[in-house]
Structure 1
Amino acid sequence: MKRVIIQSSLNICLYFLFAAFISSVHDQLEVFNDDPVRGTGFNITLELPLVLPMIFIAILLTVMGYLNRTNKKSTFSEWSVGMAEFSDQDEREEVITGKATRVAYTTFLSTLPALMIPFLFYVQLVEDFPNFPFYAIATVLSLGTLSYLIAWIYYYKK
């Protein structure tokens, strides 16, 4: 259970850090075509306070996932192509994962249409919050992951 809690929590953090990173890139992206001074291309400055936590969490997720893998006989290359939180070694965990996945899928199917409603007012929304789409996607992913986590804990303790 500890493995699922840690991985899900870090994934949620990663979703919002990535949304902030993409928002930062979106805000500063400057594309120029055939500019006599700058040439052709684009200019982006990566913000270290956003990039470093993302790299740190990705490395932490990888190391923790590998060390806490259920099949200790699998090599890193075998383990890295699968989903670490979906255990198929234990029958009980397989059932819990199936139930939690159904809950997450239902949450995803209900939050996605609900978050589409603000897109009716997209023009006004973009004036005040130009990076709304990035955070909307992060919210949908986070709610699905959070519902998976809560359902997994519920069915595990049941």
Structure 2
Amino acid sequence: MKRVIIQSCLNICMYFLSAALISSINEQIRFFDNDPVQGTGFNLTLELPLVLPLIFIIVILTVMGYLNRTNKESTFSEWSVGMTEFSDQDEREEVITGKATRVAYTTLLTSLTVSMIPFSMYTRFPEWLPNFPFYAIATVLSLGTFSYMAAWIYHYKQ
């Protein structure tokens, strides 16, 4: 259970850090589009406070996933192409994963449907929230991941 909680929380952090990084890059591109003459031309700057935590989380997820793999005989290359979230230890965990996946799927469908409303308004006023799509996608992914984690914990404790 601890593995699912840690991976889910780190994935949620990674979604929002990625959204912040992409929105930062988007701001730089928009600035260049608005005034391409100013400065020395197109210059892309990656912000260290966004890149370092993102790299750190990716490394932690990779190391943690490899150390907690179910098949200890598998090499890193064999392990890296698999889905660590769905590596179940026994039949009980397979059932729990199935139930949690159904909850996450339902949550994703619902949140995508609900997010259509703000997206329809966004096309009329993009200057108010210029980076809204990136954070909306991160929110939808986070809701799915959080519901998976919550359902997994709920069914694990039963």
Give the strand-richer structure, 1 or 2.
Answer: 1
- TM-score by length of structure 2 reads 0.90
Q: CA deviation at 1:123?
A: 3.9
Structure 1 alignment gaps of length 5 or more: none
5 Å-filtered alignment, 1:42-53, equals 42-53=42-53
Q: What residue in structure 2 maps to residue 58 of structure 1?
A: 58
Structure 2 alignment gaps of length 5 or more: none
- The aligned length equals 154
Q: Percent identity?
A: 73
Q: CA deviation at 1:122?
A: 1.2
Higher RCO structure (Cα 8 Å, ≥6 apart): 2
Aligned-partner Cα distance in 1 for 2:106–2:123: 29
Q: What residue in structure 1 maps to residue 117 of structure 2?
A: 117
What are the superposed Cα offsets for residues 60-105 of structure 1, whole Å, 9 maximum, x if unpaired?
0000111111221211111111111112441111111111001000
Q: Does the aligned pair in 2 maintain the 1:108–1:143 contact within 8 Å? A: yes
1:71 counterpart = 2:35: no
Q: CA deviation at 1:16?
A: 0.1
1:141 counterpart = 2:146: no
Question: What's the C-alpha RMSD, in Å, of the aligned pairs?
Answer: 1.9
Aligned-partner Cα distance in 2 for 1:20–1:148: 23
Greater CA deviation, 112-121 or 10-19? 112-121
1:10 counterpart = 2:10: yes
- TM-score by length of structure 1 reads 0.90
CA distance 1:82–1:26, shift in 2 (3 Å): same
Greater CA deviation, 1-10 or 85-94? 85-94
